[in-house]
């Protein structure tokens, strides 16, 4: 009897895992392209930057800390990675960021913008302060709007048929009772509007909305841990999100215009099975 009890306790204490499918490496679909990634020092931003370089492109990452930008570029360890400081809540910082990025590419060009920077105060409806609300909207909505505006003008002036990808969230599928969810509903609408404005210039705009992803923001580093918030019962890896981003900003994504692609493991899209 004691042996049986010990076996049961051991089984309960053992973390269950779910196998993650191996992703086939992409060919050089971004060869010759330069991608500007805001929030490039975050987990998803870093994964996208690495994947851009793997697929033949170059990256310019942004962050609020110059030291962290240098650390990230060193960690990526590639001559095709550069960085510039950006505070999305300040309009002067946005213009300077684009100007600094243009100086980095010199006689070349920046082809793609990935709006990956974001802020989430993680407060419920009753505990959200005015400061929480204002900062969330300033970074996630206002900042995304104005850097897209400046970058779109850059593309149009140089007749570059580029891409803009907004990294949104599955929060855009949920009732918007938090400042973060409100901001992601706004990004969903902005993506459609920006795509409508820029498609006459050959500029493709879309949004990618991850569900639960194994990042520091989610306090998780292992996507294979069981997660019952999604029908597939696990989180996404940052590499999976990055692979989808690469597809959308490459020429393979040119027929997807103004859409939000949800990578949620079915969360918010289909019902959970008991």
Q: How much is the average pLDDT of 188-199?
A: 98
Structural contact between residues 135 and 59, judged by C-beta atoms closer than 8 angstroms: no
User: Residue range 96-116: average pLDDT?
Assistant: 96
User: Cβ(207)–Cβ(259) under 8 Å?
Assistant: yes
Helix (H, G, I), strand (E, B) or coil at 177: coil
Q: Is residue 58 part of a domain?
A: yes
pLDDT at 213: 83
- Region 21-40: mean pLDDT is 85
Query: Of residues 22, 119, 154, 180, which has the active-site annotation?
Result: 180
pLDDT at 12 over 60: no
Q: Report yes or no on 2 lying in a domain.
A: no
Does residue 5 lie in a domain region?
Answer: no
Sequence-distant (≥ 6) Cβ neighbours of residue 219 within 8 angstroms: none
> In the structure, what pLDDT confidence band is assigned to residue 1 with cuts at 50, 70 and 90?
low
- Mean pLDDT, the chain, rounded, equals 89
pLDDT tens across 147-167, in order? 999 999 999 999 999 999 999
Q: How many domains does the chain have?
A: 1
Which is more confidently placed, 226 or 67?
67
Q: Any idea what DSSP says for residue 236?
A: B
Burial classification of residue 52, based on how many CB atoms lie within 10 Å of its CB (0-12 exposed, 13-18 middle, 19 or more buried): buried
**Among residues 96, 79, 99, which one has the least CA distance to residue 88?**
96
Can you say whether the dihedral through the CA atoms of 168, 171, 173, 177 is positive or negative? negative
Residue 153 CB coordination number (10 Å):
11
Of residues 57 and 13, which shows the higher confidence score? Answer: 57
Which of 5-19, 160-174, 196-210, 250-264 shows the lowest per-residue confidence on average (mean pLDDT)? 5-19
Are the C-beta atoms of residues 259 and 206 closer than 8 Å to each other? yes
Domain with residue 166: its CATH number is 3.40.50.720
pLDDT at 218 (0 to 100) = 58
Residue 11 scores a pLDDT above 90: no
Q: What is the pTM of this model?
A: 0.88
Task: Identify the domain containing residue 240 by its residue range.
Answer: 25-263
Please give the average per-residue pLDDT across 130-153, as a whole number.
97
In this model, does residue 226 exceed pLDDT 70?
no
Quote the DSSP letter at residue 86. Answer: -
What end-to-end distance do the CA atoms of the chain give, in Å?
32
| Cα distances (angstroms) measured from residue 151 to each of 132, 158, 163, 258 | 27, 11, 10, 17
Q: Is residue 1 part of a domain?
A: no
Ramachandran class of 157: left when φ > 0, alpha when ψ lies in -120 to 50, beta otherwise: alpha
Residue 273 has pLDDT above 60, yes or no: no
Q: Which of 64-68, 91-95, 149-153, 222-226 comes out lowest in average pLDDT?
A: 222-226
Average pLDDT over residues 135-156: 97
Query: What's the burial of 7, exposed, middle or buried (CB within 10 Å: 0-12/13-18/19+)?
Result: exposed
Ranking 6-20, 48-62, 91-105, 260-274 by mean pLDDT, the lowest is 6-20
**In the numeric block, which tokens belong to residue 61?**
């990452």
pLDDT confidence of residue 14: 61
Q: Is 238 within the bounds of a domain?
A: yes
Region 170-196 average pLDDT: 94
Query: Is 3 among the domain residues?
Result: no
CA distance 171 to 71: 30
Q: Average pLDDT of 23-51? A: 91
Has residue 13 been placed in a domain? no
Residue 10 belongs to some domain of the structure: no
Tokens representing residue 114 in the block: 């990935």
* Residue 173, number of CB atoms within 10 A of its CB: 20
Please list the alpha-helical segments (H only) found in 85-167.
91-105, 130-137, 144-157
Cβ contact 142:190 at 8 Å = no
What is the pLDDT confidence band of residue 9, given thresholds at 50, 70 and 90?
low
Structure token pair of residue 26 = 């992409």
Q: Catalytic residue at 180?
A: yes
**What interhelical angle do 144-157 and 179-198 show, nearest 10?**
20
Cα(113)–Cα(183) distance, integer angstroms: 19
On the question of pLDDT at 132 being above 70, the answer is yes
């Amino acid at each position: 009897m004691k042996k049986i009890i010990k076996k049961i306790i051991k089984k309960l204490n053992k973390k269950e895992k779910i196998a993650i499918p191996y992703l086939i490496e992409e060919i050089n679909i971004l060869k010759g392209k330069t991608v500007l990634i805001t929030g490039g020092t975050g987990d998803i931003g870093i994964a996208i930057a690495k994947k851009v370089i793997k697929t033949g492109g170059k990256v310019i990452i942004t962050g609020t800390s110059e030291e962290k930008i240098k650390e990230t570029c060193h960690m990526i360890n590639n001559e095709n990675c550069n960085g510039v400081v950006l505070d999305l809540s300040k309009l002067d910082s946005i213009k300077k960021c684009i100007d600094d990025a243009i100086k980095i590419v010199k006689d070349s060009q920046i082809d793609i913008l990935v709006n990956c920077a974001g802020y989430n105060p993680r407060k419920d409806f009753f505990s959200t302060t005015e400061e929480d609300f204002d900062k969330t909207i300033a970074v996630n909505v206002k900042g995304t709007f104005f850097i897209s505006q400046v970058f779109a003008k850059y593309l149009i002036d140089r007749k570059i048929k580029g891409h803009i990808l907004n990294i949104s969230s599955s929060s855009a599928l949920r009732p918007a009772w938090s400042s973060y969810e409100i901001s992601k509903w706004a990004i969903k609408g902005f993506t459609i509007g920006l795509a409508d404005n820029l498609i006459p210039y050959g500029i493709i705009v879309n949004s990618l909305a991850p569900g639960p992803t194994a990042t520091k923001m989610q306090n998780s580093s292992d996507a294979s841990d069981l997660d019952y918030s999604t029908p597939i019962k696990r989180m996404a890896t940052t590499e999976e999100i990055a692979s989808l981003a690469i597809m959308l900003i490459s020429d393979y994504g040119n027929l997807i215009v103004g859409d939000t692609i949800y990578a949620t493991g079915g969360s918010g899209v289909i019902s959970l099975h008991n």
